[in-house]
Amino acid sequence: MERLRKYGFIAGFLIVPVVLYSVFVISPYIQAFQISLTDWDGYAASPAYVGLENFAKLFDDDAFWQALRNHGILLLVLPLATIVIALFFSFLINLGGGSHGAGMRGIWGSKFYRVVFFFPQVLAVAVVGVLFRAIYRPDEYGVVNGVLIKLGFDPVGWLVEPSIALWAVIAVMVWQAVGFYVVLFSAGMAAIPKDYFEAAALDGAGRFRLFFSITLPLLRDTVQVGWVYLGIAAFDGFALIQVLTGDKGEPDGTTHVLPVQIWKTAFNYSEYGYASAMGVALFFLTVTFAVLTLRTTRRERIEF
């Protein structure tokens, strides 16, 4: 009886989540792999099975390669820029005030900075996109160009100039992300025992030495987590790029990314087979990146 009651309870608690999850998450994922092997247009009752044709088409698709190049740039620049800036700020905020008696403390006003820096993180990416579309206006009425004109420069077409557009987009991503990693790294720094810094400071280590010889090595695990998260973000960029530069990947496809292309191929062109093939490619790219990062940077854990 008790056994029966226990299994009844388990089943009762699991049934709704498992059904919801199977219907709306698992089944679409499995279907996506099947559809990627067909030429389904969203209407045909029995779409033709075309084997790997969609993937072959992908290889000849310039837009796909352009998107891959952009993901490559994002993958290099976004994590690097965000982590360097965030590490610098979190070091200043947590340890920049020098050591005082019981331990290290942050620079003056550090609480305020932490609150301000984190705020963009709670804004919706779509809202941030609209905001920066106004700020980046290519004519002299945008904020950035207004400042440039004041300083005596010519206005710049931030989102319309092919050589700058992607960098302007990356700048917004970094703008939004830094605060989150400041908080993340701050938590990591708080976990480093105070006497490490104290001992080093006693031995005459300056702030540079404290950062590079003590903080950074001991923060390795946290930085690695950050790197993986930012890398995965580098394969997304949908909301921001869709809002900032439109779904055509303007200018000249220099801000093409796979998610926008998938969305467009599926819902504008009704090429669900081809869109799913792109999705499968995106999946393998993301997984490969995550596995490679975790593999190559794995090291023995340092226990405090």
Partner 1 sequence: MATRRRRLSRPRPSLLSGLSHVALVIWALLIILPLLWTFLASFKNNAEIFGDALQLPQALRWEAWGRAWDKAHVGRYLLNTVIVVFFSTLGTMVFGSMAAYVLARYRFPGNRLIYYFFVAGMAFPVFLALGPLFFVVQQVGLLYTHTGLVLVYIAYSLPFTVFFLAAFFRGLPESVAEAARIDGASHTRTFFQIMVPMAKPGLISITIFNVLGQWNQYLLPLVLVARDEEDWVITQGIASISTLAGADADWPSLFAALSMTILPVLVVYVIFQRQIQSGLGAGALK
Q: Which of residues 80-119 bind partner 1 (CB under 8 A)?
A: 85, 88-89, 92-93, 96, 98-101, 107-109, 112-119
Yes or no: say if 261 and 242 are a contact pair by the CB < 8 Å rule.
Answer: no
DSSP state, 46? S
State the nearest-atom distance from the C-beta of 110 to partner 1, in Å. 8
- Give the Cα separation of 244 and 164 in Å (integer): 13
- Give the Cα separation of 29 and 291 in Å (integer): 20
- Give the Cα separation of 167 and 147 in Å (integer): 19
Please list every residue from 19 through 58 that binds partner 1, using CB under 8 A.
20-21, 23-29, 31-32, 35, 42
- Give the Cα separation of 148 and 158 in Å (integer): 12
Yes or no: say if 237 and 259 are a contact pair by the CB < 8 Å rule.
Answer: yes
Total of chain residues touching partner 1, rule CB under 8 A: 105
- With contacts defined by CB under 8 A, name the span among 50-58, 68-76, 126-134, 248-256 that binds partner 1: 126-134
Please list every residue from 234 through 253 that binds partner 1, using CB under 8 A.
235-236, 238-239, 242-243
Among 60, 124, 151, 154, binds partner 1 (CB under 8 A): 124
Please list every residue from 157 through 216 that binds partner 1, using CB under 8 A.
175, 178-180, 183-184, 187, 198, 201-202, 206-207
Smaller CB separation from partner 1, 26 or 302: 26
For the chain, give the longest Cα–Cα distance.
84
Smaller CB separation from partner 1, 93 or 165: 93
Of 130, 157, 136, 163, whose CA–CA distance to 242 is shortest? Answer: 130
Please list every residue from 277 through 296 that binds partner 1, using CB under 8 A.
279-280, 282-283, 286-287, 290
